[in-house]
Chain A
Amino acid sequence: MSAIRLQSKEKAPSARKEKWERYVAALKYAKYVCFHPFDGFWDLAHEKKGSIAAATTFLVLFLVTHVLKLMYTNFQFVNAPLQYINVFEQAASLLLPFLILCLGNWSLTTLFDGKGRFGDIYTAMCYALVPFIVIQLPLVFISNIIAFDEAAFYTVLMSVSVVYSLALAFIGLMQVHDYSPGKTLVFLVATVLAASIIIFLMLVFFSLLSDLVSFFVSLYREIAFRLY
C-alpha cells in the first residue's frame, strides 16, 4: 500500500515534469517557426511540434503586449486617451476579431479541402503573433528612453513587427492547409467575408435572444399581474 503510494508519488512529478518540458519545448519551437516559417509551420501542424497550451500563452502575451503598449509607452509615441481606456475592452477588441477570423477561416477551408483542423489553425495563428510580441514588448521600454525626433526608429520597428506577423500568418495558413499562395490569398479574402457573416449571425442571434427573453419576461409579468 505504502509502496504503491510512494511509487505514484514518484511518478506524478516526473509526468508533470515531462508535460512541462513538452510545453517549454513548444514555446521554444516558436524561434524556429519565426526563422524557418515554411518548415516550421509544416512541422507545427503535421509533426505536432507545437501545443495548444503554448499557442494560448502567445495569444495571452499578445493581448498583454497590446495593453501594456497603450498604458506604458511614452506619450510621445502613442495617442491613447488613458482616462477613457478600459483594459478589458481593449483586450477584447483584439481577441474577438482574432477568434472570429480563425473560426471563419476554419469554416471555409474545411469545405475546400484544407488539411488543417481548427486546433491547427489556431496554433499557427498564435505562433504567427510571436514577432509582434517579441518586438513590441521591448519597444514599450525603448519608447521611454528615446525622444520624439528619434521616432523613425520606433515606427520602423513597429511596422516591421506587424508586417512580420502578417507574413507569418500567411505562410502559416498556407502550410497548415497545404494550399498554394494564390489559393491562400483567395481564402484570406473569403475569410474576412466569412468573419463578417459570423458577426452578422451573432448579432441576429443575440437580438432574437433578447427579444425572446423580453417576451418571456413580459409573459411572466402579465400572468403575475392577472393572478394577483
Chain B
Amino acid sequence: MKTKFRLLAMVMAMLLLVTSYSTALADDGYASTYTYNYDYWQDYRESPDAYRVSNVLYSGDLGLEVAMKRPQSLFVQGNMLYVVDTGNNRILEIERNGYDFELVRIIDEFKVGAAEQPAAEETVAAEEAAMTEETAVAEENTVVEETVAADLPTVTTFNTPNDVAVDKEGNIYVADTNNQRIVMMDKDLNYVMQFTKPADTTFDQSLSFLPNKLVIDNSGRVFTLATNVNKGVVKFEANGEFTGYVGANKVVYSLVDYVWKTFFMTEEQRAQQESFVPTEYCNIYMDEDSFIYATNISFDEYSLIWDEAQPIRRLNGVGTDILIKNDRYPPIGELYWQEQAKDYHGPSKFMDITVLHDDIYVGIDRTRGRLYGYDSQGIMLWAFGNMGNSDGCFSNAISIEHMGTDLFVLDQNEGAITVFVPTEYGNLIYDANRAYLSGDYDGSADLWREVLKMNANYNLAFIGIGRSLMRQENYTEAMDYFKMAMDRDNYGRAFRLWRKIWVEENIVWMVAVIAVIIIIPVVLRSIKKKKMEVEMYERNQVTK
C-alpha cells in the first residue's frame, strides 16, 4: 500500500514537474528535543526524556592508574560490569551498588595449571579429542597428564582482546583476538579451556582465526564473529568442538556488476577480482531465550528503502531472521537518513545491540550517537542521544549493555561509560508494556493513560487503551483511539463488532425501509394498472 502510494506520487511528480509536488518531510534531521519518536506519518514527535544520565564513568572515577585505551566492549552479568580495555590488553571488572561503581579487579592474565579442576576434566578430555591436529608445545608441564598438557597455552596474557562474556557460574570467556583464541577461565581466573581455529574444511586454513565478538548461550555454547569470516556466526559446542556457522548474510551484488563480470572480463581479471561475498556482521547479542541478535553495518544505504539491508536481525537456531516487524517502517534507526545534517549523514549504523526484558531491544547508532529502543513487535519506543561532548552525548559510541532497565553506553574515544536510568516516563512505558504482555489489559490501559498525560503523541498508548476499551465492549471509543493511532487492523476489528451490534439494534426499521423501497414501486405499478383497466372499461362503456 505504502509502496504503491509512493510510486504513484513519483509518477505524478514526474508528470507534473512544473508544480512542486512534495509530501511534506520533517525538518533537517535534527529533532528539537533530546528524546523523540515517530508518528504514523513518520514525522518527528517530541517526547519527554525516557532516560536520564545518572553517572559518567571515566578512568579516574574508577581509580585506574592507566587510563582506558580504545575500550571495545561491555558485558553485564548480575551486578557486575565488565569492560574490555583493548588498548591495554585487559578486562576491567566493576561492581555496581546503586549509584556507586567500584573497580573490583583488573583481569590481564590467567593462571594455568595452578589448580586442578576436576569439574573441567571431562571437557578438557573432549576438547583434546576434537583437536588432535593441535601439536603439543607445552613440554615443561610435566606435572599434568601429557594429553592435557598438550593443550595448555603458554601465553597467559591477552593480546588485543575484543570482547568478553561471563556465564552464570562466573566463568569468563575472552575473545583474545590477536592470540587467535577464545579463552575460558573460571571465576578465580584459572584456565579451563580454549577455542582455537577450527580444523575444518569449511574454514579457510590460510586465514588467521581472529575472534572479534563473542556470546555464550545457556548451555555453554560459544558463538563468535571472526574477522574475515563471512559465513556467519562461528559456533562452538561447550566442549570446544567447531560445529559450523549460523545465519550467513545474503550475497549482495548489483546487476551491473554481474553483467560486467560475466561478459566483459577476461579469465585473469576475474580470477584477480574478489568474488561476490556476503558481508560480515558487526555485533551480536544473546538474549534470554538463546536467540542471537545480530547487527549489520555494511550495506548499501539505498537497500534500506525496501528493507533489504535488515540492519537488525534475530537469528534462530538455523540462522533465519525471525525479527518481528509490525510497524509501518522496519527497525532501521533513523528514518531521515537521507537528509544531511551539520555533522553527520547517512543511515544509522548499529554498533551494538542489547535486549532487555520482554524482547525490548536497544541499538546504539554510531553515526548519530543515538539509542533506538524497540519493543517485541518492532515498534519504536523512543530514540535519544546525540553527537557531542556533554553528558548523554557521544563522540564514538561503540557498545551498549543493560542491567535491568538501566543502560550502559561505552564511548570509545572518550574512554567513558555513560549510565542511563529510566525516568518516570520511561518506566511507565515498560510497565504498561509488561502489563499488557502478562494479560493485564485494563491495568496496562491505566498505565498508558499516564503515558498519554506526559506525551500525547504516543501511538502505542492509544493502541493499548483502545485494546482495553475493546475488551470492555466499548467499541465506539475504542475506534476513536485506534483511529488516533491509525491502527487499521484493530479499528477494523472494533468496527465489525460495533457494526454487528448496530445492525442488530436497527434491523427493524432497516428491513422496513428496504421493504418500502421494494413494495412502493410494486404497489404504484399495480395501482396504475388498475386505473388503466378502469379507464379502458369506462371507455368501452362509452363507445357501447
Contact = CB atoms under 8 A, between A and B. Distances in A.
B15 interface: yes
A89 B22 CA distance: 11
Interface residues of A, number: 22
Interface in B471-505: 483, 486, 488-489, 491-493, 495-496, 499
Interface in A168-213: 195, 199, 202-203, 206
B23 A84 contact: yes
B207 interface: no
Interface in B1-52: 1-2, 5, 12, 15-19, 21, 23-24, 41
A7 interface: no
Contact of A75 (B16, B41, B486): B486
Interface string A73-98: 00110010101100001001100110
A148 interface: yes
A75 B16 CA distance: 26
A75 B485 CA distance: 11
Contacts of B16: 92-93, 96-97
A199 to B, nearest CB: 6
Nearest to A81: B41
Nearest to B15: A97
A199 B499 contact: no
**Which of B21, B41, B488, B499 is most buried by chain A, counting CB atoms within 10 A of its CB?**
B488
Nearest to A101: B15
A150 B499 CA distance: 13
A222 interface: no
Interface residues of B, number: 23
Given A93-B16, A199-B15, A84 B493 contact: no
Contacts of B499: 145, 147
A93 B491 contact: no
A149 interface: yes
Contacts of A79: 1-2, 5
Nearest to A89: B19
A93 B21 contact: yes
A147 B492 contact: yes
A147 B495 CA distance: 6
Contact of A81 (B21, B23, B483): B23
A96 B11 CA distance: 13
7 contacts: A79-B2, A79-B5, A81-B24, A83-B41, A92-B19, A149-B492, A150-B492
Interface of A: 75-76, 79, 81, 83-84, 89, 92-93, 96-97, 100, 145, 147-150, 195, 199, 202-203, 206
